[in-house]
Structures are given as structure tokens and as C-alpha cells.
């Protein structure tokens, strides 16, 4: 019996199909498809057919067939206008050439240094807040994460030298994210993107030249890329820039929203917050440097970070192009179709997660370990060969931000109805006002803080 293509979700309009609803409210569209047809169904985006596949086994096949019958490069061609042939945007042979370099950048000994830098940057931000006041959390965390990325990837001196102009240019680049329109159309947002990229190239050019001339003076992410480029002549200055810009973009664009959501959801769940505060007091009280031994003991924060990945993933979809006909469940997905997984549905399947709509970080504790039921039931950082290489960097950064802020400030949510701000880039919280009051240090903590500052 010949298998059929997946059933179409209701609501497709003439000519445009589901395209308008896809842009306006993707999760609700996908949720409707799941209710109507189960784990495999189809959408119509103008003249493009899209299969949506949900559930651990389908998600496993999606990731394991990437670079085989499924292509990751083609559906993300719009990103090439931003970052060139960097990482998964490159042809597969070039990607395999670049991947060891990127893995080297995130090795454990490098991460130890990055965690130290993270704490320095976060502490400087906290010191600048004063003793009390209010902040718009999502915006503040966004800027903080940019500073962390700048100091880790460019080095503190260069990050300070390029200043806010560099990150403002990133904003113009990010606003050009558009998977539906050809990236070379003569539209204002694409012109601004190209102008911003040209200016960033001007800024980075002399910096790269200086690094090549004096490699012994620097020890940071950018220098590691340049040192590798000296040994591999296929990595020219353009590739150095593209890799740096792509990694810095990924390093702040996705982490900012999830770091803010971690604090917001903890403040909304005071019982679990008390567990976190007790753990901080026991493992890493105020004034104590969070070294690797302490970091791995902050379990309750780490579980909260994972629960945010599950409930508030930065991306609500990942896509591939079907290169050869492929079966998912009872259906055949023909070559030329897109195939998509959907985190906001796949992360909330009741047969994988108990009370899936509930914020419950203890589901990741060893005695429950709901994430261990299937390797592909949690995929906020992707999966398979293309799983995010910087995942540990991002998770460590979120743990540091959460621990340092909670141990030094009492926080209160002024905004009670934070929503998910969806766009063509990473999902983020809507504007959220938080009131803060610096905690009074106990005598031993005050002494530790004084020693740490000496």
C-alpha cells in the first residue's frame, strides 16, 4: 500500500495557505494541527508544503537524518546574507572542517575561563544597580548578555573599544531576519543589514590584523579562531569575521530571553525559589567565587534553567529541506517539502512530562529524571550533529546570572503578566519591571565580600 502525504491542517486560505497565520501565531497553528491529526501533519505556506513532526521518535529521525535525507543548509539560506558560510550555513564538507574549531573553543578548560569572565561582568552590572530601584528585566539582561559575549569572545579591551556601536549594528542585522522573503530584495531592513555588516567589517578589520601580528598578547575566543586560521589557510579574514559574528549573535540572542525567563519564573514560584535561595546560601553565599566545584552543586538553578528551556524555548521551530522521500509515521514526506519540529508542542507531551504546562524544575532531579526517558524529548538546543556547541556556555551563563543576582538582591515582580514576545528571531519575554532591594550581608558574608574585593 502506497503511503500518502500528511493531512493538511484546517484553515488554509486560497493562494497563501497558512502563511499569514504562520507569521502571526505559529504555536497555535501547530497546536491545532496536533489536535486535528496527531504527530504528523502538513501546513501550506504559499507554494511551499511543510510537514510538522512531533514526538521523541519523530524528533530523533529529524535530527539523525540531518545531512542525509534532510538538509539543514537550504531552509536557513536567509541567514547567509548575515553570516556567510559559517557553521551549519556552510556546505557539509566546510561545516565538518569548521566544527572541530568551534568545539575547541568550548572545551572544558576554555569554559573555566569563560565562567570567571561571566562572574566579573555580571558582578560589575550588579554593583552598578545601587541598593534599590526598578529595572526592565528583559532589556537589562539583554544588554548584560551582550557584555558577557563581548568580553568572552572579543576580550575585555576590544569589547570596551568597540563599545555600544558594535551591538547597535547587531540590532540592525537581527531585524533583517526573515525566512519568508528573499534576502536580496531592495527593502529598507535588508539595506540596513548590509550597511551594518559593512561597518562591522570596518571595525573588526584592524582588530584581526593586530591579532595576527601579535598573537602572544591575547588569550580569548577571537584569538583562538585566528590562531587556528594561521594553521589552516582556508580560514581567511572573511571566515574569521563570519564565525565570530555568527557565534556572538547566537551567544547573546538566544541566551538573553532564557536568562530573563529563569528569573521571572522563579519569582512566580516562591516555593521553588526558596529551594534555590537555600542552595545558594549553602553552596555559594555572597562574596564566594563560584568555582567549578560550586557550579556543579547548584542543582536547583540548573534544573530551573532546563525547565525554562522546556517551557520557554528561544526558538519554537527548527526546519529542514527534504532531499529524498522520507517516511515519518504512516506518511511519506516527498523531496522538496520542508519538515519541521516544534519545541513548544514537543516539550509538552504528557507521556513524556508530568503536568507538562506546569513549571516544575524538580522533574529533572535524579529521582524523577523525566528528561532521561528519551534522548530527543528535550531539544531546545537542537540535536544530533548540529546540536548547539555553545549549550554549556549558555547554561553556565544563566546559572551565574541567576545565582549572583538572587544572592545579592531581594526581587519582586511588578509586572505580573509577562507574555512571550515572538518575532522572526529568538523568542523573549515582553517588558517586565522588577523591583530590587540589596540584601544586607551577614558579618561573615561581609568579610568574604571584602576579601574578594581585595
Q: What is the pLDDT of residue 265?
A: 98
> pLDDT for 31-68, tens place per residue?
999 999 999 999 999 999 999 999 999 999 999 999 89
Within a domain: residue 8?
no
Q: What is the mean pLDDT of residues 74-90?
A: 81
Within a domain: residue 37?
no
| Residue 172 banded pLDDT, cuts 50, 70, 90 | confident
Range of the domain at 319: 54-453
Within a domain: residue 234?
yes
The structural domain count of the chain equals 1
Within a domain: residue 351?
yes
Within a domain: residue 15?
no
Within a domain: residue 307?
yes
* SS3 readout for the chain: CCCECCCECCCCECCCECHHHHHHHHHHHHHHHHHHHCCEEEEEECCEEEEEECCHHHHHHHHHCECCCEECCHHHHHHHHHHCCCHHHCCHHHHHHHHHHHHHHCCHHHHHHHHHHHHHHHHHHHHCCCCEEEEEHHHHHHHHHHHHHHHHHCCHHHHHHHHHHHHHHHHHHHCCCCCCCCCCCCCHHHHHHHHHHHHHHHHHHHHHHHHHHCHHHCCCHHHHHHHHHHHCCCCCHHHHHHHHHHHHHHHHHHHHHHHHHHHHHHHHCHHHHHHHHHHHHHHCCCCCCCCHHHHCCCHHHHHHHHHHHHHCCCCCCEEEEECCCEEECCEEECCCCEEEECHHHHCCCCCCCCCCCCCCHHHHCCCCCHHHCCCCCCCCCCCHHHCCCCHHHHHHHHHHHHHHHHHHEEEEECCCCCCEECCCCCCEECCCEEEEEECCCCHHHHHHHHHHHC
Within a domain: residue 192?
yes
Q: What is the pLDDT of residue 136?
A: 98
Q: What is the mean pLDDT of residues 153-160?
A: 84
> pLDDT for 260-302, tens place per residue?
999 999 999 999 999 999 999 999 999 999 998 999 999 999 9
> Which of 210-219, 240-249, 305-314 has the highest average model confidence (pLDDT)?
305-314
Within a domain: residue 92?
yes
CATH number at residue 365: 1.10.630.10
Amino acid at each position: 500500500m502506497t503511503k500518502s502525504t500528511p493531512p493538511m491542517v484546517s484553515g488554509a486560505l486560497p493562494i497563501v495557505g497558512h502563511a499569514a497565520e504562520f507569521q502571526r501565531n505559529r504555536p497555535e497553528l501547530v497546536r491545532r494541527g496536533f489536535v486535528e491529526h496527531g504527530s504528523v501533519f502538513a501546513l501550506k505556506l504559499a507554494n511551499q508544503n511543510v510537514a510538522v513532526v512531533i514526538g521523541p521518535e519523530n524528533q530523533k529521525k529529524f535530527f539523525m537524518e540531518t545531512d542525509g535525507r534532510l538538509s539543514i543548509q537550504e531552509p536557513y539560506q536567509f541567514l547567509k546574507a548575515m553570516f556567510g558560510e559559517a557553521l551549519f550555513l556552510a556546505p557539509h564538507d566546510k561545516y565538518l572542517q569548521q566544527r572541530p574549531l568551534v568545539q575547541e573553543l568550548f572545551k572544558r578548560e576554555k569554559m573555566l575561563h569563560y565562567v570567571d569572565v561571566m562572574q566579573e561582568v555580571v558582578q560589575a552590572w550588579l554593583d552598578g544597580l545601587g541598593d534599590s530601584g526598578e529595572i526592565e528585566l528583559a532589556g537589562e539582561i539583554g544588554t548584560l548578555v551582550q557584555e558577557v559575549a563581548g568580553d568572552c569572545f572579543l576580550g575585555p579591551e576590544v569589547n570596551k573599544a568597540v563599545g555600544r556601536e558594535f551591538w547597535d549594528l547587531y540590532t540592525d542585522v537581527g531585524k533583517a531576519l526573515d525566512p519568508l522573503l528573499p534576502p536580496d530584495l531592495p527593502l529598507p531592513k535588508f539595506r540596513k543589514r548590509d550597511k551594518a555588516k559593512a561597518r562591522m567589517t570596518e571595525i573588526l578589520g584592524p582588530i584581526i590584523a593586530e591579532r595576527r601580528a601579535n598573537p602572544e598578547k591575547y588569550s580569548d575566543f577571537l584569538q583562538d579562531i585566528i590562531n587556528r586560521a594561521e594553521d589552516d589557510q582556508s580560514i581567511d579574514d572573511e571566515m574569521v569575521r563570519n564565525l565570530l559574528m555568527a557565534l556572538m549573535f547566537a551567544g547573546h540572542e538566544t541566551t538573553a530571553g532564557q536568562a530573563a525567563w529563569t528569573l521571572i519564573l522563579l519569582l512566580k514560584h516562591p516555593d521553588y525559589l526558596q529551594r534555590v535561595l537555600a542552595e545558594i546560601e549553602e553552596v555559594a553565599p555572597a562574596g564566594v567565587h563560584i568555582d567549578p566545584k560550586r557550579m556543579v552543586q547548584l542543582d536547583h538553578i540548573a534544573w530551573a534553567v532546563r525547565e525554562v528551556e522546556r517551557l520557554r524555548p528561544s526558538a519554537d521551530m527548527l526546519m529542514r529541506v527534504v532531499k529524498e522521500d522520507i517516511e515519518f509515521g504512516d506518511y511519506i514526506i516527498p523531496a522538496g517539502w520542508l519538515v519541521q519540529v516544534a519545541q513548544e508542542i514537543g516539550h509538552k507531551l504528557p507521556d513524556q512530562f508530568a503536568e507538562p504546562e506546569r513549571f516544575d524544575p524538580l522533574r529533572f532531579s535524579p529521582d524523577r529524571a523525566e528528561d532521561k526517558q528519551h534522548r530527543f524529548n528535550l531539544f531546545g538546543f537542537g540535536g544530533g550533529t548540529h546540536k548547539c556547541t555553545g549549550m554549556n556556555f549558555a547554561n553556565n551563563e544563566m546559572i551565574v546570572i541567576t545565582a549572583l543576582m538572587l544572592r545579592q538582591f531581594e526581587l519582586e515582580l511588578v509586572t505580573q503578566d509577562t507574555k512571550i514576545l515572538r518575532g522572526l528571531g529568538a523568542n523573549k519575554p515582553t517588558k517586565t519591571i522588577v523591583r530590587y532591594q540589596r540584601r544586607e550581608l551577614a558579618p561573615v558574608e561581609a568579610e568574604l565580600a571584602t576579601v574578594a574585593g581585595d
